[in-house]
Amino acid sequence: MVTVRLQLNADDLAKVRVSASWGPFNEGLLSLKHLHDARPSILVEGWRRVARGHLGEWIAPLLALTPRHALVDLHTVVGETSSIEHAVERLEAAPGDHLSDELTCLGPWMDSCGSWARLWRHDLADGNRHARRELAGLIWRYHESAIEPSWSRIAAHLEAERARCGRIMATRGAGELLNSLHPKVRWQPPFLEVNETPGDSNGRVDVLGGRSLFLVPSVFCLERPWILWNIRDESSPKLLVYPVLRGLDDAAALWADGAAPGQNALARLLGSTRAGALDAVADVCTTTELARRLGVSPATASHHAGVLREARLIRTSREGNAVRHRLTDLGTALLNGRRLAP
């Protein structure tokens, strides 16, 4: 993973927006990645368990288009749209050269799927109408089976996050908002650092080049954020897609069916208050904010933060007059119920 350092000037900051059109098509594409995992994130384990009960071998072509460790950007091929109907129409009518550019990176993964996958990819990129209709039909079927039953809850969760962003933007400004998105998103003027790798102080420097920056909260984007843009339209915005599920409480509230079985286990391991503190720090906060979220005194919050820091689950840094706490990779892994390599 490489750090992307996005350079923003004052005009760029003034054009930062929170996207309101990240719909079921986009969430569905990202959700497909979690069907590959033998050990899925605990944050979507409940959804995955239910969804897999409605899927069959027909899902294989869609899984071939969405490998676990790569992102095929059909999001910007389709563009921003809030309905599955509109998204599928746009996908069927998408320019062949744009779709071909995005599908090219799938070569190594689709080759392992067999000759049918290579042929299907070629037909899709070549504008074959039958292949496009087949893809549209598969996306419809997957939406009805795995996304639509939960969409009202997902949409409400995303709307709540947009409202949170709006409050921060209005009261504390764009810089504070950018620092509140995710531990792997850091605003250090004039750079927005995304996908930070420990020890990587350089990374790739990028500029908006006149584009706007849209912040896109996503339920099925987990572990790290993505930067997407339409390579064929220089006037379209760049999208910063970031995880909106910040911990076990978020997952339990979203799925509302016991989808986060590790929540009690984490509380037993750390203690309920300290587990709550780890969850709260996922949203990046000061000691005062942490105390308010936990309902404890600032001195008690500082003590819990110190214990988590000594355990290397969080890190603390001074930014101006404020001291902010963020999750480390180890803290994120523990919160998400994942294993780290030794």
How many Å apart are CA 84 and CA 168, to the nearest integer?
30
β-strands 191-194, 17-18: how paired?
unpaired
Please give the model's pTM, rounded to 2 decimal places.
Answer: 0.69
Q: What is the pLDDT of residues 142-191, one digit of tens each?
A: 999 999 888 888 888 888 898 899 999 999 999 999 999 988 899 999 99
If pLDDT is split at 50, 70 and 90, which confidence band does 264 have?
Answer: low
pLDDT of 340 reads 44
Which domains can be identified in the chain, with CATH numbers?
4-243 (no CATH), 261-336 (1.10.10.10)
Q: What is the pLDDT of residues 193-224, one digit of tens each?
A: 997 544 445 567 788 878 899 999 999 998 78
If pLDDT is split at 50, 70 and 90, which confidence band does 16 have?
Answer: very high
pLDDT of 247 reads 76
4: which strand partners?
Answer: 194, 204
Q: Taking 80 as the threshold, does the pLDDT of residue 262 lie above it?
A: no
Lookup result for tokens 């996306």: 139
Average pLDDT, integer, range 250-267: 61
If pLDDT is split at 50, 70 and 90, which confidence band does 339 have?
Answer: very low
How long a stretch of residues is the chain? 342
pLDDT of 111 reads 59
If pLDDT is split at 50, 70 and 90, which confidence band does 89 have?
Answer: confident
Query: Left if phi > 0, otherwise alpha if psi is -120 to 50, otherwise beta: which for 240?
Result: beta
If pLDDT is split at 50, 70 and 90, which confidence band does 275 have?
Answer: confident
If pLDDT is split at 50, 70 and 90, which confidence band does 256 have?
Answer: low
Quick one: the chain helix, strand, coil %, rounded to 5? 50, 15, 35
- Mean pLDDT, the chain, rounded, equals 81
For 316, the 3-state DSSP assignment is: strand
pLDDT of 258 reads 40
Which pair of structure tokens corresponds to residue 213? 């920056």
How many Å apart are CA 178 and CA 6, to the nearest integer?
12
> Do 44 and 34 contact (CB within 8 A), yes or no?
yes
How many Å apart are CA 186 and CA 193, to the nearest integer?
5
pLDDT of 259 reads 40
pLDDT over 70, % of the chain: 83
How many Å apart are CA 39 and CA 43, to the nearest integer?
11
Output DSSP code: residue 145: I
If pLDDT is split at 50, 70 and 90, which confidence band does 239 have?
Answer: very high
Q: Taking 90 as the threshold, does the pLDDT of residue 241 lie above it?
A: yes
If pLDDT is split at 50, 70 and 90, which confidence band does 341 have?
Answer: very low
If pLDDT is split at 50, 70 and 90, which confidence band does 261 have?
Answer: very low
The Cα-based distances of 269 to 153, 263, 312 in angstroms read 30, 10, 15
Q: Taking 70 as the threshold, does the pLDDT of residue 338 lie above it?
A: no
Q: Which residue type occupies 200? A: D
Q: What is the pLDDT of residues 102-146, one digit of tens each?
A: 777 666 666 566 566 667 777 777 767 888 888 888 899 999 999
Instruction: Write the CB contacts of 326 (distance below 8 Å, at least 6 apart in sequence).
Output: 183, 281, 284, 314, 315, 316, 317
pLDDT winner (highest mean) among 33-37, 197-201, 239-243: 239-243
The Cα-based distances of 208 to 212, 224, 229 in angstroms read 7, 21, 10
DSSP string, 225-260: -EEE--TT-TTSPEEEEEE---SHHHHHHHH-SS--
Nearest to 124 by CA among 79, 62, 217, 177: 62
pLDDT of 199 reads 44
Q: Taking 80 as the threshold, does the pLDDT of residue 95 lie above it?
A: no
